[in-house]
Structure 1
Amino acid sequence: MPADLAVIGLGHLGLPLAQAATAAGIDTIGYDTDPRPVAELAAGRPPVDGSLTASEIRRMLSGGFRPTTNPAELGRVRTAVICTPVPLGTHRAPDLTAVAEAARALAARLRPNTTVLLESPVHPGTTEQFLLPLLEGGSGLRAGRDFHLAYSPSRLDPGNRAHGYAHTPKVIGGLTPACTESAAAFYGRLTDKVVRARGTREAETVKVLETNFRHVNIALVNEMAVLCHELGVDLWDVIRCAETKPFGFQAFRPGPGVGGHGVPVDTIGPHRPLRLVELAGQVNERMPQYVIQRCATLLNEHGKSARGARVLLLGITYKPDLADQEGSPATEIARRLMDMGAVVSYHDPYVADWRVRDLPVPRADSLYEAAAAADLTVLLQHHRTYDLQGLAVKAQLLLDTRGVTPAGAAHRL
């Protein structure tokens, strides 16, 4: 059955797009080579990362959304958006395997006048130098003449209801002006504002800049956290005051590490290192070890050794109020604590089971009882369900890595 849109890749990028398109009345199929998420979605069950609820999935299905593993469906759409994951491979280079598989499956069935869009995070030049040859070679069609080709960086903020597709401007850059306009016509059905870049490379570089902006500023405030602790300065009060400046400042806050799907890009091609981004990555990667140092120091100051200490970790996801653990520093922190001989347990309302080094980590059923029994409780993620005032009262020793507990109620990062 023909459809208006094929979303290729039903992960954290593709599903929100499919949701927005279905809600806008666009007849949408979701294609993935992995039968597991397809079967789960078809049954109305939400993704494991918690990005969409079961009721949201059911609304998509009732609105006509059809998840499938059948590549033949790709030959019956007007628009195809590639949203496959791009993990880091060897030497921190993007692994484009999934993008290539999607391109080949689409190219074999590509029809004239189809609009092909790429949303996966890639290095500048990937759309023209990597995706275009695969599509043209597999279809016999010519990009810019027989079909439209464009890039649009994903701007998702999981769990942020205020900035969904409709209220987030969409950047697009086409291979030709006609490609750009075709992409604009599609995204104009989903968002209030479409921003046209000069071309695919400019649009791809927007993603590089936006991702690196986040990581560099988090690194700065993480370094400030270490410095302020050494100086005896309340960093959170500093940030509170600094963010009243109406220009030239944007508030970022420190944490135990940087998680999420946005990976900093510190090298563009073989000879283009971004030194500031590389340094920022080193700073952020050191934060879990700094948390461990603070844990050991606090235990020692209270007459306890890390070896044999009962340590409770609160919130092991990378973002508050979501189940997604992608890139969460909690795993490394737990691993390091275990190496020191600590007895680690955890509590997270969104994660029923957690394994570190393929071993199950005990989950606390009663938060307050577990905090009262633990020698040290470490707040790694601030879920809204946590009563921080009550937790501060119950815990023997509390380290707050997010700076969200009432002033004086806990030791802050």
Structure 2
Amino acid sequence: MPADLAVLGLGHLGLPLAQAATAAGIATVGYDPDPHTVAELRAGRLPTEGADGSLTAAGVRRMLSAGFRATTEDTELGRVRTAVICAPTRLGEDRALDLGAIGDAARALAARLRPHTTVLLESTAYPGTTEDYLRPLLESGSGLRAGRDFHLAYSPSRFDPGNRRHGYTNTPKVIGGLTPACTEAAAAFYGRICEKVVRARGPREAEAVKVLETNYRHVNIALANEMAVFCHDIGVDLWDVVRCAETKPFGFQAFRPGPGVGGHGVPIDPNYLSYKGRSLGHPLRMVELAQEVNGRMPRYVIQRCATLLNEHGKSARGARVLLLGVGYKADTGDQEGSPAREIASRLMELGAQISYHDPYVQQWRVLGRPVPRADCLYEAAAIADLTVLLQPHRTYDLQGLAVKAQLLLDTRGASPAGAAHRL
């Protein structure tokens, strides 16, 4: 049976959309050029390790039973009314977004694009990407004109893995179309899935929403990280400071420090318009500084580890260190940009013996070598010279862990007050 929706890219953006659309009764086909990804989904398995509760292997099987199909064949793309590009974009070595996967998806779609199709982009992108990068690829490959022959719009992804309160359907969906008709076509589609649709003036405004939301998070986390270092140096309990500050009913939102910032929401500096090969000449300086501050946090964690070991008469060399939670956030095993890898590698370079525990990650490699996984958390913590909490998964009993561990460094401030050394 022909699908109503095609989702291009079955990763961290595409799968939640496909799941929400399938649950809403929309006939959905998922396109991905990676045969492994498609094979895993067809077998009812997640293509990557680390279920976060919002999408599990059981959830994939429910999608399949409801009619969802995954394919590597672009012929499927010519039979749908709506196509959403959810291709991954990551930072390259020059700190610019790599739009190559968007381009590949656009070319695959353009070859099959039919009149009256609604094409949407959800991938993280710079303001102007939809109009200046995606549109020409679709038009040249299809012979159709955006805004006249087919609808084109941008909608920033707001999916938050592991968030049990806000999912795909109850998070307001921002959309910005090339024309008013494009915006309304996008609203009609997302209105079938989401409870609320918010119309932006155009695609550039919608793209800038993603820039603002992502950078807001990074800048404020950087401030919290700087405060953590400052307060530790002067002997102030930062976590008590945050607890008190967040009682202010206006002008303040609480952000908390951590061992580093990871995930798919990379800090975006739209000064680097890689698809145009030029610079605007006015970078977002606060974003650059936030990236620098957050990038220093894994090294600061190592410094705190070494200091704690020394204070207890031990050296980092030969010390048994247990890392808890190696994903980029709590309650997910997604390791994209996780600071755990840098922390582990630096500890290994110091001569420490590393092991880890994570209920969402069954195997973990650092510096090309497998890291031993602790089967029994509390026994491992009792044996380890130092236990470092990187992600406070809900399954962790932090009070019990603090009792069992010889020495516990809590980088998230999640343990009871006085139960552990905090960042």
Deviation at 1:38, TM superposition (A): 0.8
SS class of match (2:169): helix
Aligned to 2:403: 393
**Corresponding letter in the other structure for 1:153:** P
Deviation at 1:194, TM superposition (A): 0.7
Aligned to 1:190: 193
In 2, Cα distance between the equivalents of 1:257 and 1:331? 11
Aligned to 1:46: 46
In 1, Cα distance between the equivalents of 2:322 and 2:180? 56
Moved more, 264-273 or 363-372: 264-273
In 2, Cα distance between the equivalents of 1:398 and 1:302? 12
- Answer yes or no: is the 8 Å Cα contact 2:357–2:377 preserved in 1: yes
- Answer yes or no: is the 8 Å Cα contact 2:302–2:343 preserved in 1: yes
Deviation sequence 1:218-275 (CA, Å, 0-9, x none): 0000111111111111111111111111111111111000011000013423123100
Of 84, 94, 98, which aligns to 2:101? 98
Aligned to 1:71: 74
In 2, Cα distance between the equivalents of 1:273 and 1:345? 41
In 1, Cα distance between the equivalents of 2:397 and 2:163? 21
Aligned to 2:215: 212
In 2, Cα distance between the equivalents of 1:225 and 1:351? 28
Please list, as runs of the form range in 1=range in 2, the aligned pairs for 1:10-409 lying within 5 A after superposition.
10-48=10-48, 49-51=50-52, 52-268=55-271, 269=273, 270=279, 271-409=281-419
**Corresponding letter in the other structure for 1:99:** I
Instruction: Figure out how many residues of one structure are paired with residues of the other and give that number.
Output: 413
Deviation at 1:192, TM superposition (A): 1.2
In 1, Cα distance between the equivalents of 2:107 and 2:142? 9
- Answer yes or no: is the 8 Å Cα contact 2:126–2:270 preserved in 1: no
Residue 412, structure 1, aligned to residue 415, structure 2: no
Moved more, 185-194 or 75-84: 185-194
- Answer yes or no: is the 8 Å Cα contact 2:127–2:270 preserved in 1: no
In 1, Cα distance between the equivalents of 2:347 and 2:56? 34
**Corresponding letter in the other structure for 2:119:** V
Deviation at 1:161, TM superposition (A): 2.4
In 1, Cα distance between the equivalents of 2:250 and 2:59? 39
In 2, Cα distance between the equivalents of 1:67 and 1:193? 28
Structure-1-length-normalised TM-score: 0.98
- Answer yes or no: is the 8 Å Cα contact 2:36–2:47 preserved in 1: no
In 1, Cα distance between the equivalents of 2:269 and 2:291? 8
In 1, Cα distance between the equivalents of 2:353 and 2:250? 47
**Corresponding letter in the other structure for 1:122:** A
SS class of match (1:59): helix
Deviation at 1:189, TM superposition (A): 0.7
Deviation sequence 1:321-350 (CA, Å, 0-9, x none): 111111110000001111111111111111
Aligned to 2:4: 4
Structure-2-length-normalised TM-score: 0.96
The gaps in structure 2 that reach 5 residues or longer are: 274-278
In 2, Cα distance between the equivalents of 1:161 and 1:239? 23
Deviation sequence 1:48-71 (CA, Å, 0-9, x none): 231411221111111111111110
SS class of match (1:279): helix
Aligned to 2:276: none
SS class of match (1:251): coil
Deviation at 1:46, TM superposition (A): 2.3
Cα root mean square deviation, aligned = 1.0
In 2, Cα distance between the equivalents of 1:307 and 1:44? 44
Greater relative contact order, per chain length (Cα 8 Å cut-off, separation 6+) = 2
In 2, Cα distance between the equivalents of 1:31 and 1:124? 25
